[in-house]
Homo-oligomer: A and B are copies of this chain.
């Protein structure tokens, strides 16, 4: 293995995943991962540009940043790339009125969106709201449409909370894709648009940046496909053996 200096030659910016890298979440709160508060502080004191890249879709951006600040992180809303605001832009541009299969914690992000007479479905990490009733409603909306549009905030398989591994939005996306015979549009990691938008915010080219995450598909694979370097941490959902996802 090449020395670290060589492997990171030319890097001018770092993209940091949040959940599983900075902290392990729990219902409404979380615990910082050992060393991560200080690591962020050191990165921000260095000459490197830092951006936080999350698929968080249970909490609004404001709530997430407030929580991280309470845990001791030096972070502000303007430093975070998150899928909900990007989704709202897409909905407005295309005149889409979503049925929202989402967590109550993120509903405020969609306050300005018309949800009457839905002509698409937006799905995010809905947690307990992934009831049979809600899934069926989303399914029925899609089946009524001539050209069904399913927009997914990320496509993660699972994530880690302090209480254990939890199913993520990607599993429920697969369920709707299979039932309807369609393919979802993913907003967030690992979509190339997501990484490009984060790089643009940083004013960097792909070869100048390294993505640090705990998801081998969403973080590492997605970033590498955009020409970035990537590192997988051994915290969060990382598992040394077993059923580590290897393909998207």
Complex interface: chain B residues within 8 A of A172 (CB): 175
Q: Is the CB of A136 within 8 A of B166?
A: yes
Of the candidates B177, B179, B182, B246, the one whose C-beta lies within 8 Å of that of A167 is B179
Of the candidates B130, B135, B165, the one whose C-beta lies within 8 Å of that of A140 is B165
Which of A133, A176, A178, A182 has the most CB atoms of chain B within a 10 A radius of its CB? A178
Q: Tally chain A residues at the interface, Cβ within 8 Å.
A: 40
Complex interface: chain B residues within 8 A of A140 (CB): 164-165
Beta-carbon contacts of A125-153 to B below 8 Å, as 1s and 0s? 01111111101100110110010100000
Complex interface: chain B residues within 8 A of A24 (CB): none
In the complex, which residues 160-188 of chain A have their Cβ closer than 8 Å to any Cβ of chain B? Answer: 164-168, 170-172, 174-182
Task: Report Cα–Cα, A181/B146, bound state, in Å.
Answer: 32
A47 within 8 A of B: no
Chain A interface (Cβ < 8 Å from any Cβ of B)? 126-133, 135-136, 139-140, 142-143, 146, 148, 157-158, 164-168, 170-172, 174-182, 242-246
